[in-house]
Amino acid sequence: MKDRLFLSSPHMSDEGYEMEYVKEAFDTNWIAPLGENVNQFEIELADKVGSKAAAALSSGTAAIHLALKAAGVEEDDIVFCPTLTFSATVNPVIYQKAIPVFIDSDYETWNMCPKALEEAFVKYPEVKAVIVVHLYGLSADMDKIMEICNKHKVAVIEDAAESLGTYYKGKHTGTFGDYGIFSFNGNKIITTSGGGMLVSNNEERIAKTRFWATQSRDQARHYQHSELGFNYRMSNVVAGIGRGQLKVLDQRVEKKNYILEFYKRELGELDGVEFMPSNEWDKPNYWLSSLILYGRVRPFEIMEALEKENIESRPVWKPMHLQPFFEKYDFVGTNVSEKLFENGICLPSDTKITDEDLERVVEIIKGLWR
């Protein structure tokens, strides 16, 4: 059996940047959810994406949770969410005992459809917040979405977990709304093994989320808590990994783009194959190279053929409104997301992948058309 080819796995820098910062944490004995790495990672990430403030947290999910809390989302409030996403986008809505309403995608971006969003506001004018996702590193149409949300004076949270390094009209995704979140899970474009970041231009609210994330401990000699707190702060060791990874982000984006272009060149002429969309205003990180199949070869056939050769692939996310836990919540749209799920597949997009590995993948796929 040949070596396993992963969809997207951790990729430490060749230069060893990460170990320098981790060693510093050990040498100074700051093995805790505070320290120089945490402070500097917040500053460096905020500077990288062009945001005024950031809070380093234990996960992207924690970041969404605190963003919802910072936006004032409470029990029975309505929150619009894209249906084509991972459940971590929506779970924090439930943590706040709020009510998700799922919004369909469009084919132009694979992300939240502005037209469906408008329809949702007509149906639910009392909505408290909108969560926008930048799926697989493709940016949503933020001009249209922000115009709609600003008109209705509603808070916007950008789930940029998959899109660090993606630009919309020259500006980083995650910096258009009131709050943006990034994930550093093991499969993301850069990783801290596990972790997340909340960014905002509202420095006061970011300071408040740091307070909540450290168990809402009041400034007192004794342990005093006037608000509900959470254990959500990032470790100083983990933050050191993040600081090193941030130095190679641009390299990782370049490799992700190379991978997609390779697949396009080799598979683009196959009957019934259509790749993830490209827009003139979008400069994606192409976190996962994904395609849609409209011909006789189906996604499961490719996944099975690849798995036989020890190669990992994955379907496009199953829409949330089709999930057993979330199916009781309302959905607004025309089922574009269902079509993307039924016909979509994500191919190996690991930044350690070689041209030989890529040839191995495309030859297996081409064989199904022969």
> How far is Cα of residue 109 from the mean position of the Cα atoms in its chain?
15
* Cα–Cα distance measured from residue 188 to residue 49, given in angstroms and rounded to the nearest whole number: 16
CB–CB of 63/181 below 8 Å?
A: yes
* Cα–Cα distance measured from residue 22 to residue 42, given in angstroms and rounded to the nearest whole number: 16
Taking all residues of the chain, what is their mean pLDDT, rounded to a whole number? 97
Biggest CA–CA distance in the chain, Å, is: 73
What pLDDT score does 32 carry?
86
**H or E element at residue 366:** helix 355-369
Stretch 202-209: mean pLDDT = 98
Q: In what order do the strands lie in the sheet with 314-315?
A: 273-275, 290-293, 344-346, 314-315
* Cα–Cα distance measured from residue 183 to residue 30, given in angstroms and rounded to the nearest whole number: 23
Query: Among residues 229, 162, 160, 242, which one has the least CA distance to residue 195?
Result: 242
* Cα–Cα distance measured from residue 201 to residue 178, given in angstroms and rounded to the nearest whole number: 7
> Checking DSSP bridges between strand 273-275 and strand 196-200, what pairing results, if any?
unpaired
Q: Domain 249-369 class?
A: alpha beta
* Cα–Cα distance measured from residue 215 to residue 344, given in angstroms and rounded to the nearest whole number: 42
Q: Inform me whether the pLDDT recorded for 33 exceeds 90.
A: no
pLDDT one-digit tens code per residue, 35-91: 999 999 999 999 999 999 999 999 999 999 999 999 999 999 999 999 999 999 999
What pLDDT score does 304 carry?
98
Name residue, tokens 């905002």.
200
pLDDT one-digit tens code per residue, 283-328: 999 999 999 999 999 999 999 999 999 999 999 999 999 999 999 9
Q: Is 87 exposed, middle or buried (0-12, 13-18, 19+ CB in 10 A)?
A: middle
CB–CB of 161/168 below 8 Å?
A: no
Q: Which residues pair with 311 in a beta bridge?
A: 5
- The three-class DSSP label of residue 255 is helix
What pLDDT score does 2 carry?
86
Q: Domain 17-246 class?
A: alpha beta
* Cα–Cα distance measured from residue 111 to residue 143, given in angstroms and rounded to the nearest whole number: 13
CB–CB of 213/186 below 8 Å?
A: no
Q: Inform me whether the pLDDT recorded for 183 exceeds 90.
A: yes
Q: Inform me whether the pLDDT recorded for 9 exceeds 80.
A: yes
Q: Inform me whether the pLDDT recorded for 173 exceeds 90.
A: yes
Stretch 255-269: mean pLDDT = 98
* Cα–Cα distance measured from residue 350 to residue 357, given in angstroms and rounded to the nearest whole number: 10
As a whole number of Å, the CA-based R_g of the chain is 21
Strands (DSSP E) contained in 48-112 are: 53-57, 78-82, 99-103
Domain ranges of the chain: 17-246, 249-369
